[in-house]
Each structure stands twice: as C-alpha cells, then as structure tokens.
Amino acid sequence: MDVSILLLSLLIGAVVTYFSGDKLASKVALLFSLGALVISLNILYLFTNGSNVGILHGWITLPKVSVALYADGLSLAMVLLTTILTPLIIFSSFGTTVTNAKNFYALVLFMAFAMIGTFLAADGLLYYVFWELALIPIYFIALIWGNGDAEKRKKAVLKFFIYTLAGSLFMLVAFAYLYTKAGSFLLQDLYNLNLSTQEQFWIFFAFFLAYAIKIPIIPFHTWQAKVYQKAPTVGTMLLSGIMLKMGLYSIIRWQLPIAPQAAKQYMPLLIGLSIAGVIYGSILALRQKDLKKLLAYSSLAHVGLIAAGCYTLTMDGLSGAVHQMIAHGFVIVGLFFAAEIIYRRYHTRTISELGGIRAQAPKFTSLFMILVLASVALPGTYNFVGEFTVLYSLSQVNIWLAVIGGLTIILGAYYMLKMFQNVMLGETNTTTFGAITIYETLTMVVIIALLLFFGLYPKPINDLIHPSLNDIFFTINRLK
C-alpha cells in the first residue's frame, strides 16, 4: 500500500458524498473519513516496519513535473493529525442541521484530500497545486454556510481568499526560479541547490509571505479573527485545527532547508515577529466579548510561539514546534466545539450573556475545564510538552526571548480562566442548558483522551518525527 490510496479514498469519498443526497451525506462522509483514518494507520504501520510508502512517477515532461509523494515521520504526523480530526469534526456536526448537506460534506472531504496532499507532496509544483486546492473548499464553506451578516461575511471571506492567493503567487514565482536552477521541482533536488546569499534572501521571503498569511504571523493576520468568527464551526475547526498547520509544516519542510542562510541571517526579525504575535494575540483575546473571537486570538498567540520555535533553527525548536502543532490542533478543535455546544443551547456567543452553565451541566463543565487547562499548557497535557520544548529552544538563542515568549502561558492562563468563569460560572443566563448529547460527549472525550495520553507519554510521536527532523536539521546546517 502507498499513500496515493489515502488520497484516492478521500477524493472518491467526496464524490460519493455529493451523490449520496442530503439525508445520507453526513454519514457517508463520516464513513469515508474513518476509512481514511484506518488507511493512514496502516500506512504508519508499514512505514515503521521499513516499507516504502511514498511514490514517484513522471507526470509532465516539460516542465519536468512528477507525482512525488514522500512519506516520512514528519509528514505522517501531519497526515495522522488530519485523518483523526476530520472524522471528529464531521461527527461533531451531527447535532446541527446543515442545508445542502451533500455539498457541505463533500467539500469537507475534498479539503482533507488537499491538505493531506500538501503534507505529502515532494514536488514543488504538485505541492503548490494541493496548497491552492485546499483554499477552494474552505472559501465556499465559510461563504455559504457561515453565520452573521451576509455582507460582512462576504467581505471577510473574500479578504481571506485574496490575501492567501496573493501570498501563494509569490511562492509560485519562487518555485519557477528554483526550477531554472535545478531543472526539477523535486524536493531533494531543491535541497541540493547551492544558492547565493542574495538568491536565498528572495526565495526565503517569497515563501515567508505565503506561510505568514496562512499561519498567520503578524502583521499578516488581519483576515483571521473575522473569518474564524463568521465561518461555521466546522469551517473554523478545519482552519484552526489543520489548515494553518500547512504553513507551519511548510516552514520546516520547504523554507528552512532550501534557504537556510537567509533564515540564519534574519532569525532575530523572524522570532521577533512571531513572539510579537504571542503578545498581540493575548492582549486582543483579553478584550474580546465574543467567545469565538477570543478563541481566534488565543490561536494567534499559540501559533506565534510555534513559528518562533521553527525559526530558532535548533533541533529542540523544530521538535517542540511539531509537538505543539499537533497539540494545538486537538485543543483548538475541542475549544471551538465547546463554544458550538454552548451556542446550540443559548444562540449567542456574547460572553456577558452566558454564565450559570456549571450548575446545569457539570459533566460538560468538567470537560470544558480540561480543555481550558490544556490550552494553558498545564503539565500532564500535551500542550505542555510542545510549549516547554519551544521555550527551551528560545532560551538557547536568548534567555529573554524565552521569558517574553513565556508570556503566552501567563496571559493565556489569565484570559482563558477569566473566560471560563464568565461563561460557565455565576447566574448570568437562566435559560435551561440541555444535557450534552452522546455525540457531543464522545467528541470531547476522544480529544481530551489524546491530549492526556500524549501529554503523559509523548514517546510515540518523538520516535516518529525525530529521524525526519534530524535529516532536515542536517540540511539546514550544512554549508550551502
């Protein structure tokens, strides 16, 4: 079995879901997403037992483009994140009525197909195709099934689309130039290029524009909060849980190894921008009155710290960043789902209009509390593993960077616990809060179980990602 089977299963699943009709669409999509999870676990088993699960076939003769899908520990970690979260996200939507469900769930599976393709692609042009394909379904998901005022939603989604597309075009130009130097788009051929310092500068910042917008890193973040707020919760979970990881993953896989000298030269600026995002996101989160916007700015703060870890160019920074990518994916999906559970009952996300939930739903309160504690990196949760390792890597560069970066934990604890008090405690809202359903409970329990398991025992992920990161670290630090 090779990884193309996984991509094919999701693509076929999207088509079958579309033709299954609105009544069956959610169940068919869930079935295919679970099938993709089983396939990805089988690929992981084959990979860990020494089998080659990647593929390389010719595609276009001129220019020379290949269907190259490369599966190593790093890419498989991102694939597994996607194939675990996708069925959870689909399952979490069972408590809501979705109009034109066949279109909606087909787009979700197609988006998973494109994101996994981005993580696996080892040919620059193929990677770019998957990168752009992932933008199409989320655009329509947010535009058609989003919430709030239609005109404001259209403006927010269009801004997101234009920003992301514009940044990607710079990346395409960079790939075109690299092709003229290497005669190939293959990842390893691009790694082997001996680019001048000036060439690395332009390549690096062409990639940076694409990734900084997608992640996002300030000052390229202005699209994020409104799109997270206006998109339906499924769309927000796909964006925050998986799609932004495309940019963080790509820093490690593409940007740093191809232009390491530029990364080393501009390290202070890059880390500075990333940590500024930590502080800026935290301060804005403190001021939010809407629950989804608060979580959106919380996400901005956390991904800023992940980006800072990547740009330390240390092995600990790369390792901590990958751990935190995975942990952030699970916890942010769990938090946005908790916000959706509240909205289903109170039909508001305004924090001042909530409260009094704990007395009516103690089980939900306990689950929500665990997610909040995971978000602030409580020891024993998976977020602690990633954040501690990233902060340690920052201390290797400059101890003050670690101190300032550590504000994400202090500020995060303040605004998340304050939000929990206002939303869950007190007697502000006396509307009856119905018991959470089996679908809702199961979704939250699975997410929490993963966060606690890998928080206490991260060794399986360490063993999976470290060989790949060692190879990338060697490529970054060799003379080019």
CA dihedral angle for residue 291, residue 294, residue 296, residue 299, rounded to 10 degrees: -130
User: Omega of the bond prior to 362 within 30 degrees of 0, cis?
Assistant: no
Confidence at residue 411, expressed as pLDDT on a 0 to 100 scale: 87
Using DSSP's 3-state secondary structure scheme, residue 123 falls into: strand
Return the minimum-mean-pLDDT range out of 262-266, 273-277, 353-357, 457-461.
353-357
Residue 316 is classified by DSSP as H
Model confidence at 428: pLDDT above 80: no
Q: Phi first, then psi: what are they for 55, rounded to 5°?
A: -135, 155
- Give the predicted TM-score (pTM) of the model: 0.95
Least confident segment among 39-43, 206-210, 221-225, 427-431: 427-431
The number of helix segments (H) and strand segments (E) in the chain equals 24, 2
Alpha helices in 313-437 (DSSP H): 315-346, 357-360, 362-375, 382-397, 399-405, 407-424
What's the burial of 418, exposed, middle or buried (CB within 10 Å: 0-12/13-18/19+)?
Answer: middle
In this prediction, residues 426-449 reach a mean pLDDT of 86
pLDDT tens across 120-141, in order? 999 999 999 999 999 999 999 9
Is residue 469's pLDDT more than 90?
yes
Phi, psi of 86 (to 5 degrees): -60, -50
pLDDT in tens, 53-77: 889 998 888 888 999 999 999 999 9
Check pLDDT > 90 for residue 431: no
Dihedral pair phi/psi, residue 68, rounded to 5°: -115, 115
| Two tokens, residue 92 | 């979490």
Q: What is the pLDDT of residue 355?
A: 84
Distance, in Å, from the CA atom of 128 to the CA atom of 140, rounded to the nearest integer, reads 20
- pLDDT at position 339, please? 95
Judge whether residue 95 has pLDDT over 90.
Answer: no
Per-residue model confidence as pLDDT tens digits over 19-32:
999 999 999 999 99
Burial category of 430 from C-beta neighbours within 10 Å (exposed 0-12, middle 13-18, buried 19 and up) = exposed
| Residue 149 pLDDT | 80
With pLDDT > 90 as the criterion, what percentage of the chain qualifies?
Answer: 79
Locate tokens 């990647």: which residue? Answer: 54
Question: Is a pLDDT exceeding 80 seen at residue 209?
Answer: yes
Q: What is the pLDDT of residue 409?
A: 80
Q: What is the pLDDT of residue 134?
A: 96
Rounded to an integer, the average pLDDT of 80-87 is: 98
Output the average pLDDT for the chain. Answer: 93
pLDDT score recorded for residue 479: 57
**Residue 13: per-residue pLDDT:** 97
Residue 480's pLDDT is: 54
Query: What does the block give as tokens for 18?
Result: 């579309």
